Amino acid sequence: MSLIKQLWIAIALVMTIAFGGSMVVSVLSARHYLEQQLQVKNIDNATALALSLSQLDKDPVTVELQVAAQFDVGHYRFIRIVSPTGQTLVERVFSGQLQGAPRWFAALIPIRVMPGQALIQDGWKQYGTLTLASHEQYAYKSLWEGTLELLLWFVLGSIATGITGTLLIRVITRPLNEVVGQADAIAERRFLSIAEPRTPELRSVVRAMNSMVERLKAMFSEEAARLETLRQKVNRDAVTGLASRDHFLAHLREILDGEQFGSIGSLVLVRLPELAEINQRLGHQRTDALLAQLGQVLRYGSDDPTGQRAGRLKGGEFAVVCPTLASPAQAATAVHERLLKDWLPHWAADVPDLFHLAGVRYHRDQHVGQLLSLADDALARAEALGPNSYFVDETGTPRTALPAEQWRTLLTEAVQGGRLALAYYPVLKGDGQGAIHTEGMIRLKADGNGTPLSAGDFMPMAAHLNLTAPIDLTVVKLAIEHLRTTAGDIAVNLSAETIANFNFRHELTQLLKSYPDVCQRLLFEVPEYGVFRQFEAFRDLAQTLKQLGCRVGIEYFGQRFTETDKLSSLGLDYIKVHPSYIRGIADNPGNQEFLKGLCNMAHAIGMTVIALGVENREDLPLLTSLGFDGATGPGIK
């Protein structure tokens, strides 16, 4: 943490402690004063009312009217007259709600005042005991308004202090910023010398930094030349220690073409989808440490005489070939378990969405390009499953085994040639009668005769090829066209990779502004994985869509439940709960309890809750009892 941040934190901490202490003293003092005043009022009013009643005839109607008149004008919490035998003769109790201050404030700072008591005489006999208590809501109101006023002055003082302090710190720390800039340049391997500042404390630092820069220039020049020479001589990746791409592919071709190993085996691919972002977040040295540790984990059990070997294909993509494992599931599971056990825990706090993994089967005489295309397809499907997940293709032949470039051509032509369409499925109300809205699911007509491909067949590859933005924009256009000719509301999905695309967001905004009449009937939902992966971008997108009148929700909710406290600031309209919680709900009491709490939490902030993946219509009454407002799935017709 920078020195400036630490200084601001210290200032904020001191101001907060000072404000907190003054507020506590002020509020407690005010509360004590108000309690004293209410106590005196209770005693005086009880004495006055008892004296007045003592002088009246003790006709029950007369007494009750006198008490009612006093109660209506005196702002009491209750007035009660009890006979000497303990019988309640007259009682009036305030039944309204606390006004003037929040309930939590009243509960946090309770005002406790003893009721006033006085005896009512009937001649020489005691008629009864009068007990009354004034209502505290005006005291709470005064206390609350005083607290808000104190808070306002604190905020104004903080703003003034912040502005003044910012200007002063900018002047004082300008030389320090230059030193920081020099240090950042060194981290980026840009060796710059700067002028020595006037501040004595910083002058010696800059002088030492400049001297170090000159030495580093010479040292790194020599090191760069030496590493360049070594790079040409070795077959190992310098960072991970794994086989280089050429060395690994040569070994793979030997396995596929030769007879040294079995006719079938497995290939496991590991991809770090956001290596550049990881490098920016962790810094060069920590990213190298991350990759080096990954290399150690992948090398575990590799490079043995049986031919199992790990290599780095490119920046964030690694592979492990397992000639002795015919089951890609077994190979992928083994690698995945090692990553989860020995690698991910060290970096999950900094990079929770770290890798994707896929396993495929190969056979002898298979072309390397075809095998890598199959692995690419499986890896794209693994990416669609979320962070740190894996996908296994047991068949060795994906449903649409196309190279990445052919996928790019197909998807581009689909967008331009109108081969995308929407299939509509109802989202029913909790009672099963009527629809909340209709969900539009994308379909791709790959050819004129075949069955249209669902989103799961091509969107993973579209995400891998960075083509989700034009596809999502086409989906919105199709939904708008449908809304202009039919009644009801339609929900469409936006890809996780799309929400952070500025150009897409701009085009989407302009498109929706052209059709203001349908915006209130258009719903947008994003998978939970994408929401938390691009949280700031999603928040901005949600605010923009809601300003246009659209509704926004999260799909497949529940996998990142520890982060749901962030959702209270988004203003979401609904959530669709992940099918893994819904399936078999009738036989899962644990999930029932969890879902009930989830629904209560969502309802508390005004969100509608919808169940995904409902397999049986008979589950609807149970889901409704748990708090679900709607449901959709294969069991909903």
412 inside domain: yes
Q: Are residues 249 and 213 in the same domain?
A: no
Sheet holding 125-134, edge to edge: 88-93, 76-82, 125-134, 116-122
Which domain-ending residue is among 401, 424, 454?
401
Q: Are residues 315 and 224 in the same domain?
A: no
The Cα diameter of the chain in Å comes to: 121
pLDDT digits (tens, 9 = 90+) for 80-94: 888 888 888 888 888
Whole-angstrom distance, CA of residue 153 vs CA of residue 478? 53
Unique residue bearing structure tokens 């320090």: 176
Q: Which residues of the chain have pLDDT under 70?
A: 1-4, 74, 184-192, 216-235, 247, 250-251, 254, 257-263, 301-307, 396-402, 447-450, 456-457, 559-566, 568-569, 580, 637
Give the distance, in angstroms, between the CA of residue 23 and the centroid of all CA atoms in the same chain: 34
| Closest by CA position to 603, among listed 552, 561, 568 | 568
366 inside domain: yes
Q: What is the CATH number of the domain that holds 121?
A: 3.30.450
- Whether the CB-CB separation of 37 and 116 falls below 8 Å is answered with no
Q: Are residues 605 and 539 in the same domain?
A: yes
Q: Give the residues across from 234 on adjacent strands.
A: none
Whole-angstrom distance, CA of residue 490 vs CA of residue 553? 12
Unique residue bearing structure tokens 């691919």: 269
238 inside domain: no
| Closest by CA position to 324, among listed 363, 266, 248 | 266
Q: Are residues 390 and 433 in the same domain?
A: no
165 inside domain: no
- Whether the CB-CB separation of 520 and 545 falls below 8 Å is answered with no
How far apart, in Å, do the first and last CA atoms of the chain sit? 56
168 inside domain: no
HEC states along 237-257?
CCCCCCECHHHHHHHHHHHHH
Q: Are residues 294 and 423 in the same domain?
A: no
Whole-angstrom distance, CA of residue 272 vs CA of residue 286? 15
Residues sharing a CB contact under 8 Å with residue 607, sequence separation 6 or more, in sequence order = 553, 567, 572, 573, 574, 575
User: CB count, 10 Å around CB of 511?
Assistant: 13
Q: Are residues 434 and 484 in the same domain?
A: yes
Whole-angstrom distance, CA of residue 403 vs CA of residue 373? 5
Q: Are residues 432 and 302 in the same domain?
A: no
Which domain-ending residue is among 381, 401, 421?
401
HEC states along 154-176?
HHHHHHHHHHHHHHHHHHHCHHH
Q: Residue 421 — φ and ψ, nearest 5°?
A: -145, 170
Q: Residue 452 — φ and ψ, nearest 5°?
A: -60, 145
Whole-angstrom distance, CA of residue 469 vs CA of residue 494? 9
At residue 250, the pLDDT reads 64
| Closest by CA position to 334, among listed 262, 381, 270, 252 | 270
Whole-angstrom distance, CA of residue 622 vs CA of residue 587? 11
Q: Are residues 394 and 409 in the same domain?
A: no
Which domain-ending residue is among 351, 369, 401?
401
At residue 480, the pLDDT reads 93
499 inside domain: yes
Q: What is the CATH number of the domain that holds 565?
A: 3.20.20.450
Local structure of 128: helix, strand or coil: strand
Report how many domains make up the chain. 4
Q: Are residues 185 and 257 in the same domain?
A: no
171 inside domain: no
Unique residue bearing structure tokens 């043995």: 304
Structural domain range at position 29: 3-159
**What does pLDDT average to over the chain?**
81
Please work out, in degrees rounded to the nearest 5, the angle formed at the alpha carbon of residue 35 by the alpha carbons of 31 and 41. Answer: 145
| Closest by CA position to 420, among listed 383, 385, 457, 373 | 457
Local structure of 437: helix, strand or coil: strand
At residue 226, the pLDDT reads 46
- Whether the CB-CB separation of 268 and 332 falls below 8 Å is answered with yes
Q: Are residues 296 and 378 in the same domain?
A: yes
Q: What is the CATH number of the domain that holds 351?
A: 3.30.70.270
- Whether the CB-CB separation of 34 and 143 falls below 8 Å is answered with yes
| Both structure tokens of 237 | 């990746």
Q: Are residues 470 and 539 in the same domain?
A: yes
- Whether the CB-CB separation of 592 and 613 falls below 8 Å is answered with no
Residues sharing a CB contact under 8 Å with residue 359, sequence separation 6 or more, in sequence order = 266, 267, 268, 269, 328, 329, 331, 332, 335, 378, 390, 391, 392, 393
Q: Are residues 492 and 467 in the same domain?
A: yes
91 inside domain: yes
pLDDT digits (tens, 9 = 90+) for 92-114: 888 777 777 888 887 888 888 88
H helix runs in 465-616, sequence order: 468-483, 502-513, 528-533, 535-547, 579-582, 589-604
Whole-angstrom distance, CA of residue 272 vs CA of residue 290? 11
The single-letter code of the amino acid at 452 is P
Local structure of 118: helix, strand or coil: strand
